[in-house]
Amino acid sequence: MPLLDQSLWWLAPYVLLMLLMVHAMLEFTVSLLAERPRGRRKPATASELRQRLLSLDQSDQPYPLVEGKDCDLEISWEKVEPVHHSRFAVSKNAFRGRLRFLLDETRRELLMNQVTSSYYYFLGFSGWLPRLAGYAGFQAGPPDSFLTKEIRQVALRSGWTVRPVLWWFQASRRGRRRLQARLFWGILYPFSFFLGLIYFVVVAGPLVGSDWLLLVGISAIWWCVWGVLVWMLLGFPAFWHR
């Protein structure tokens, strides 16, 4: 029976499989961004690394690195404009950001995550026309490299691995145990991808040669695009040595 003639309930498990695959892809991709110290140097203790990071010269930094509330260290900033009132309009703009750093002494890893949120609204008249506008945004993931350059360098010189994490709770004391290994996500990512393809083939019924070519082509494009993106995120490293 063609897919369009079937009940749409088959989409529910397929969508769940695809969401699982996308999450595994993101976790595995972020795990590839980890930086490890060069050479075999004795790693510093967590307290020593904390003191080294807090003693960094932050005179040129607008937002200092301080002790964290639910993590070891943090950098936070906030820009909230007061509500602007004009004769026929009211508006407001706000932006907040927070960098979390967690020292995992068991693995000698510095976990870090950045969360930013913003919103804006306008209500009133623009010229002679009534206008209502607004937006809200939220982002979580690996921090911007220029914000953490010195911190990463100190951690690497101290013999620690610098590992960005996808979710903010993974860089908090409560969420430390939820961080999974790269191998787990590296296996789950392709497994869920091909499991979704198998499920689609089973639901769609027998496929002809052109259908198989289409599935193979889509799969090849997906993995090629993902591979290029990862290569770009890693700084285009060479895969061979002369």
pLDDT digits (tens, 9 = 90+) for 78-107: 988 888 888 788 999 999 999 999 999 888
Identify the CA nearest to 12 among candidates 203, 237, 235. Answer: 203
The interaxial angle of helices 11-31 and 209-233, nearest 10 deg, is 30
Backbone angles phi, psi at 84, to 5 degrees: -95, 120
Q: Which two tokens stand for residue 177?
A: 């145990």
Per the listing, tokens 């967590």 go with: 46
Quote the percentage of the chain above a pLDDT of 90: 31
Neighbours of 221 (CB within 10 A): 10
Report d(CA 47, CA 53) in Å as an integer. 10
Residue 6: pLDDT band by 50, 70, 90 thresholds? low
Q: Is 178 a residue whose pLDDT tops 60?
A: no
| Full-model pTM | 0.77
Lookup result for tokens 């749409």: 8
Q: Which of 87, 61, 93 is nearest to 75 (CA)?
A: 61
pLDDT class of 200 with cuts at 50, 70, 90: confident
Mean pLDDT, residues 102-128 taken together = 90
The mean predicted confidence, pLDDT, of the chain is 85
| pLDDT per residue as tens digits for the range 47-59 | 999 999 998 876 6
Q: What pLDDT does 109 receive?
A: 92
- Cβ atoms of 154 and 44 closer than 8 Å: no
| Residues 6+ away with beta carbon under 8 Å from 46 | 72, 103, 105
Q: Which residue from 165, 35, 163, 153 is spatially nearest to 113, judged by alpha carbons?
A: 165
Cβ 225 vs Cβ 217: under 8 Å: no
Sign of CA dihedral 216, 218, 220, 226: negative
- What's the distance, Cα to Cα, between the start and end of the chain in Å? 56
pLDDT of residue 206: 77
Question: For residue 1, which amino acid is it?
Answer: M
Instruction: Read off the pLDDT of residues 21-51 as tens digits, 9 standing for 90 and up.
Output: 998 998 888 888 899 998 777 899 999 999 9
What's the alpha-carbon Rg for the chain, to the nearest Å?
24
Res 4 pLDDT > 60:
no
Helix axes 145-157, 46-54, angle to 10 degrees: 130
pLDDT tens digits, residue range 125-140? 877 788 899 989 999 8
The 8-class DSSP code of residue 125 comes to E
In three-state secondary structure terms, 199 is: helix
110 versus 184: the higher-pLDDT residue is 110
Residue 84: its pLDDT value, please?
83
pLDDT score at 241: 46
Query: How many whole angstroms separate alpha carbon 224 and alpha carbon 230?
Result: 10
